[in-house]
Amino acid sequence: MSMKKNKIIRLTLSYFVIAVMAVIVFYPLLWIIGSSFNPGNSLSGSTMFPENPTLAHYKHLFDADKSDYIIWYKNSLKISIITMVLTVASVALTAYSFSRYRFVGRKNGLITFLILQMIPNFAALIAIFVLANRTGLIDTHLGLILVYVGGQIPMNTYLMKGYLDTIPKELDESAKMDGAGHLRIFFQIVMPLAKPILAVVALFSFIAPFGDFILARILLRSEDKFTLLVGLYELVAKQFGNEFTKFAAGSVLIAIPIAALFLVFQRYFVSGLTAGGTKG
């Protein structure tokens, strides 16, 4: 009887914690979604479940004559996709080198990466701005992409290197005995087994620039080059208090590409968990 009572108590506490966390996560999301369908421009009269929902704010955002939202969306997608591709390529090569080879400075390089991943990008804002200004990369998407890629390499390299260390090196040795070169081992042996961590790195390297505001606000000047978050901020800042419901509508749409990318990569996460269970 005592064991049954303890089990009921544990289950009750577990469900209580889950319920509290669900409220913390979903309450603000529901408010943002509800506000995006509320008529008017102010949040003061908005409700979580609007009585007279409208799509007027979404139509306004996609009206090229009234808003540059589509341009901002394209800019964010372009920057995030290019950053993701370059980050995955550079991190895969770097992590593979640290995992499979022994060379002078390897240990110090890993320690440097470990230190660099503890320093957020905004801590080097002045240095980034001065460097971009001297190289003529202010108000360019290229400058922003280079900063994002450079900032993501240390953390993701350390993450992927740890995963590659779990792949048996005997596979490499067997491939070498069959005459495979370094590139063939990398592309045909190691990388197919590293799909789960590649998916994680790709997802992280897409989300970071897509959800960044500070660096984009510092480096971008022209309205036609703004990213989503910078554009939405300007939408509110120019007409303070008058565009918050449109801001809410624009914020809701930000989640679409991130959710779509997660669904695309989900099968790789599952395959990674299955492979890990098989190895165990």
Which segments of the chain belong to CATH 1.10.3720.10? 65-279
DSSP state of 189: I
Task: From 35, 67, 28, select the one nearest 53 (Cα to Cα).
Answer: 35
| CATH 3.40.50.10860 is right for the domain spanning 65-279 | no
Tokens of 114: 């470990």
Query: Which amino acid, 241?
Result: G
What's the pLDDT score for residue 44?
61
Tokens of 245: 């419901």
How far is CA 86 from each of CA 82, 112, 233, 261, 272, rounded to the nearest angstrom? Answer: 6, 21, 28, 17, 23
Chain mean pLDDT for the chain: 85
pLDDT at 274 over 50: no
What's the pLDDT score for residue 276?
39
For 175-193, what is each residue's pLDDT tens digit? 888 888 888 888 888 998 8
pLDDT at 270 over 70: no
Residue 204 near residue 156 (C-beta atoms within 8 A): yes
Using pLDDT thresholds of 50, 70 and 90, give the confidence band for residue 239: low
DSSP state of 167: S
pLDDT at 165 over 70: yes
pLDDT at 79 over 90: yes
For 30-59, what is each residue's pLDDT tens digit? 888 888 888 876 666 666 777 788 888 888
Using pLDDT thresholds of 50, 70 and 90, give the confidence band for residue 278: very low
Task: From 5, 191, 8, select the one nearest 89 (Cα to Cα).
Answer: 191
DSSP state of 143: H
Compute how many other C-beta atoms are within 10 angstroms of the C-beta atom of residue 244. Answer: 22
Least confident of 113-127, 192-206, 232-246: 232-246
d(CA 201, CA 85): 10
- The pairs formed by 166-175 with CB atoms below 8 angstroms and a separation of 24 or more are 166/279, 167/193, 167/194, 169/100, 172/100
pLDDT at 242 over 80: no
DSSP state of 227: -
Task: State percent of the chain over pLDDT 70.
Answer: 91
Using pLDDT thresholds of 50, 70 and 90, give the confidence band for residue 220: very high
d(CA 154, CA 118): 9
Query: Residue 279 CA to chain centroid, in angstroms?
Result: 29
pLDDT at 90 over 90: yes
Tokens of 56: 């007027």
DSSP state of 62: T
d(CA 182, CA 175): 9
d(CA 163, CA 157): 10
Highest mean pLDDT: which of 84-88, 118-122, 223-227, 274-278? 84-88
Q: Between 43 and 255, whose confidence is greater?
A: 255
For 14-35, what is each residue's pLDDT tens digit? 999 999 999 998 888 888 888 8
Task: From 25, 84, 36, 40, select the one nearest 58 (Cα to Cα).
Answer: 36
CA angle 195, 199, 204 (to 5 degrees): 150
DSSP string across 169-201: THHHHHHHHTT--HHHIIIIIIHHHTHHHHHHH
Least confident of 137-146, 184-193, 222-231, 240-249: 240-249
What's the pLDDT score for residue 141?
95
pLDDT at 82 over 90: yes
Q: Between 51 and 162, whose confidence is greater?
A: 162
